[in-house]
């Protein structure tokens, strides 16, 4: 029961993480304009991974996608790639995890196969969560660097050169979603141990003969026993040789 509960909870937590990663990637509020020095403004700007938007005080919002790929910074493109890889791995992990649930029976699938699928989906969730957390953290580092550079320019008398941007809500959603996917993957890996059959954990090594019906038996040592045909018993008597059968050889006196 605990294995099934851990597996189901891991699936639900990882599902929330993957859904949050998709929402964070599609949201346009990765960076928002800092209104610390100018809280009342007629134009409010915010940016996402795919487009930048401008919202006016009248409520009208205009968004423009990034029409270039090569013109974007390399770190920005790396963040895009990490989020996409995290989404793809998360969706694949969900598909594998659905078939690996212990409460769902598909044909004659054994528990060992379900254990392998559970471990595979858990690893996918862990990698997806790490990709999401890494992507969001890299983007946050870019924001911090640009913010302090803009602050330095402002203190040097160039405050109208560029606007400062701070963390948007999508960053926090991405961090939470990556953490949920990571926790869900760990729970799936823990549930894998409970799905492994007991008899397959410790396998004894057996040695069999090459032939199908060959058996080897050992018995007590009886010593050397001669052939019964050549063994001489108490009633055995050697037959006398006949004279014809004997071969005579000439002696030395016959040559004298």
pLDDT at 203 over 60: no
State the average pLDDT for the chain.
77
DSSP 236: -
For the stretch 137-190, pLDDT in tens is 999 999 888 877 766 666 565 555 457 788 889 999 999 999 999 999 999 988
Both tokens assigned to 80: 């895009």
* Alpha carbon distance 191, 12 (integer Å): 14
- Distance of alpha carbon 5 from alpha carbon 9, whole angstroms: 6
| 182: nearest Cα among 137, 136, 127, 139 | 127
Domains and CATH numbers, the chain: 1-30+72-197 (1.20.140.150)
Residue found by looking up tokens 């409460």 in the block? 103
Rounded to 10 deg, the angle between the 2-26 and 111-155 helix axes is: 30
Choose among 37, 46, 43: nearest CA to 58: 43
pLDDT score at 82? 95
């Amino acid at each position: 029961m605990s294995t099934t509960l851990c597996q189901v909870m891991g699936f639900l937590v990882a599902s929330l993480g993957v859904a949050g990663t998709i929402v964070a990637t599609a949201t346009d509020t990765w960076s928002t304009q800092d209104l610390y020095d100018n809280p009342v403004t007629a134009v409010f700007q915010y940016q996402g991974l795919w487009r930048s938007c401008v919202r006016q005080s009248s409520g009208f919002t205009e968004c423009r996608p990034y029409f270039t790929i090569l013109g974007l910074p390399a770190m920005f493109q790396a963040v895009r790639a990490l989020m996409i890889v995290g989404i793809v791995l998360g969706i694949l992990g969900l598909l594998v995890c659905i078939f690996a649930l212990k409460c769902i029976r598909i044909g004659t699938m054994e528990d060992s196969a379900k254990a392998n699928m559970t471990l595979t989906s858990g690893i996918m969730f862990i990698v997806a969560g790490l990709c999401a957390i890494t992507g969001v953290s890299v983007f946050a580092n870019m924001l911090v660097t640009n913010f302090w550079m803009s602050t330095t320019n402002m203190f040097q008398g160039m405050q109208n050169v560029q606007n400062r941007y701070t963390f948007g809500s999508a960053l926090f959603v991405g961090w939470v979603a990556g953490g949920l996917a990571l926790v869900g993957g760990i729970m799936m890996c823990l549930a894998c141990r409970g799905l492994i059959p007991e008899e397959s954990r410790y396998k004894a090594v057996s040695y069999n003969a090459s032939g199908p019906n060959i058996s080897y038996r050992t018995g007590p040592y009886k010593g050397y026993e001669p052939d019964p045909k050549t063994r001489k018993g108490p009633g055995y008597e050697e037959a006398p040789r006949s004279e014809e059968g004997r071969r005579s050889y000439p002696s030395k006196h016959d040559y004298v």
